[in-house]
């Protein structure tokens, strides 16, 4: 029983031991084990494909589960975009050059044979026009809605509990007893929490916390799924000095870089942040799904408009 990546102890799924389960549970465990073996076979095959198997190198990305209900609701064009973007089989100029030897320039900046990454997150002209910022704000709006709901819940709650709890150990194969692990949250109950989000305007850092020139966070240009870990480290380093100044001024400051990839996959950093502020269970799954869909739908529209030199304020 091990932990992977930067999740930390206690963040992973509970491992059930064969000797501790009932006869009915063992049937499900066998089916799950066979499914894992089949999935491993698909992964081995994907690794051998240099282009279609690039997703196997993604780090810090949460697997996206699409149900049959989702497939019925999504337009066929978006489903096709999601699948082909994941495996990098969209007819980008770079792929067309590789498949047919054609030559094509980016219609916005003039780069020769641009890749899918260039179209969705790397074109400087698209960034200047606000295409990536428009997609960024769509995702940020969903994130702000989740945080606002959690903030209101914390402020309305009357019972104030500490966020520091003793570690409760569980025997190998056992499960934590009900109520033994509290709902840990940085948003302490009964407080007067405020939310400030950079939506629709360039928000300055509150001067009553610390005085620092040019400390507004700026705009993001988006990150592809294979660069989520690098984006996390870059953001963490970017705000390290600001967090240090807040500490020196007597405030408790926490830095939580969050990433949602351009192709509609959420970074594990986003999940960790939401859990830290007390978003769990179905609410957590819905929040991650909503943000992923906003990013994917925004990228789909950017892809469709990749040859249009004009760009309206609302992507139209």
- Tell me whether residue 130 is in a domain: yes
- Tell me whether residue 212 is in a domain: yes
Q: Quickly tell me which residue has 């030559």 as its tokens.
A: 103
Both tokens of residue 212?
Answer: 């620092």
What is the 8-class DSSP label of residue 205? P
Q: Quickly tell me which residue has 């100029």 as its tokens.
A: 93
- Tell me whether residue 59 is in a domain: no
- Residues of the domain holding 111: 66-163+186-316
Q: pLDDT digits over 279-292, tens only?
A: 999 999 999 999 99
- Tell me whether residue 120 is in a domain: yes
CB-based burial, 84-105: b 16+ in 10 Å, e otherwise: bbbebebebbbbebeeeeeebe
Please state the rounded mean pLDDT for residues 163-187.
Answer: 58
Using the predicted structure, report yes or no on whether residue 164 has a pLDDT greater than 80: no
| Gap between the Cα atoms of 190 and 11, Å rounded | 26
Q: What is the pLDDT of residue 46?
A: 67
Q: What is the pLDDT of residue 25?
A: 87
Q: What is the pLDDT of residue 4?
A: 63
Q: What is the pLDDT of residue 37?
A: 85
- Tell me whether residue 36 is in a domain: no
Q: What is the pLDDT of residue 171?
A: 63
- Tell me whether residue 230 is in a domain: yes
Q: What is the pLDDT of residue 8?
A: 66
Q: Where does residue 114 fall: left (phi above 0), alpha (psi -120 to 50 degrees), or beta otherwise?
A: beta
Most confident of 36-40, 43-47, 254-258, 297-301: 297-301
| Gap between the Cα atoms of 130 and 124, Å rounded | 10
Q: pLDDT digits over 183-203, tens only?
A: 568 888 877 899 988 887 667
Using the predicted structure, report yes or no on whether residue 208 has a pLDDT greater than 90: no
Q: Where does residue 214 fall: left (phi above 0), alpha (psi -120 to 50 degrees), or beta otherwise?
A: left
Q: pLDDT digits over 7-50, tens only?
A: 666 666 667 788 888 888 888 889 888 988 888 777 777 666 66
CA angle 162, 163, 166 (to 5 degrees): 90
User: Burial of 221 by CB count in 10 Å (0-12 exposed, 13-18 middle, 19+ buried)?
Assistant: middle
Q: How far apart are the first and last CA of the chain?
A: 50
- Tell me whether residue 104 is in a domain: yes
- Residue with the larger pLDDT of the pair 215 and 197: 197
Q: pLDDT digits over 76-126, tens only?
A: 999 999 999 998 999 999 999 989 999 999 999 999 999 999 999 999 999
The shares of helix, strand and coil residues in the chain, as percent rounded to the nearest 5, are: 50, 0, 50
Which residues are CB-contacts of 183 (< 8 A; sequence separation ≥ 6)? 278, 280
Using the predicted structure, report yes or no on whether residue 143 has a pLDDT greater than 60: yes
User: Burial of 260 by CB count in 10 Å (0-12 exposed, 13-18 middle, 19+ buried)?
Assistant: buried
| Gap between the Cα atoms of 269 and 291, Å rounded | 13
- Residue with the larger pLDDT of the pair 67 and 93: 93
What is the 8-class DSSP label of residue 178? T
CA distances, 254 to each of 165, 196, 225, 244, 307 (Å): 18, 15, 24, 10, 41
- Tell me whether residue 214 is in a domain: yes
Q: For residue 316, name the pLDDT band (cuts at 50, 70, 90).
A: very low
Q: pLDDT digits over 261-279, tens only?
A: 999 999 999 999 999 999 9
Q: pLDDT digits over 225-251, tens only?
A: 888 888 899 999 999 998 999 999 899
Q: What is the pLDDT of residue 299?
A: 96
Report the domain count for the chain: 1
Please state the separation of Cα 247 from the chain's center in Å.
Answer: 27
CA distances, 91 to each of 78, 82, 98, 104, 116 (Å): 15, 13, 10, 11, 9
Both tokens of residue 90?
Answer: 């969209």
Q: What is the pLDDT of residue 305?
A: 96
| Gap between the Cα atoms of 150 and 281, Å rounded | 13
Q: What is the pLDDT of residue 297?
A: 95
């Amino acid at each position: 029983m091990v932990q992977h990546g930067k999740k930390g102890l206690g963040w992973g799924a509970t491992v059930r031991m064969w000797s501790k389960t009932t006869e009915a549970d063992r049937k499900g465990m066998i089916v799950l084990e066979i499914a894992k073996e089949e999935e491993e076979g698909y992964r081995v095959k994907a690794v051998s494909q240099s282009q279609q198997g690039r997703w196997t190198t993604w780090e810090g990305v949460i697997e996206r589960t699409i149900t049959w209900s989702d497939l019925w609701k999504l337009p066929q064009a978006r489903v096709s975009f999601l699948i082909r973007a994941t495996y990098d089989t969209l007819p980008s100029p770079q792929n067309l050059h590789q498949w047919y030897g054609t030559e094509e320039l980016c219609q916005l900046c003039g780069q020769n044979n641009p890749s899918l990454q260039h179209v969705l997150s790397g074109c400087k002209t698209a960034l200047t026009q606000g295409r990536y910022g428009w997609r960024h704000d769509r995702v940020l709006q969903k994130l702000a809605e989740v945080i606002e709901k959690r903030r209101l819940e914390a402020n309305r709650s009357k019972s104030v509990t500490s966020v520091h709890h003793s570690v409760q150990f569980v025997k190998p194969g056992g499960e934590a007893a009900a109520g033994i692990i509290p709902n840990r949250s940085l948003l302490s109950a009964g407080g007067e929490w405020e939310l400030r989000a950079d939506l629709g305007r360039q928000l300055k850092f509150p001067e009553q916390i610390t005085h620092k020139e040019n400390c507004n966070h700026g705009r993001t240009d988006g990150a592809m799924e294979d660069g989520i870990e690098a984006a996390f480290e870059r953001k963490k380093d970017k705000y390290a000095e600001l967090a240090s100044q807040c500490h020196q001024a007597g405030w408790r400051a926490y830095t939580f870089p969050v990433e949602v990839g351009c192709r509609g996959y959420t970074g594990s950093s986003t999940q960790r942040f939401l859990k830290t502020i007390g978003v769990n269970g179905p609410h957590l799954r819905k929040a991650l799904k909503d943000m992923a869909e906003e990013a994917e739908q925004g990228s789909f529209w950017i892809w469709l408009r990749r040859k249009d030199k004009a760009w309206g304020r609302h992507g139209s």
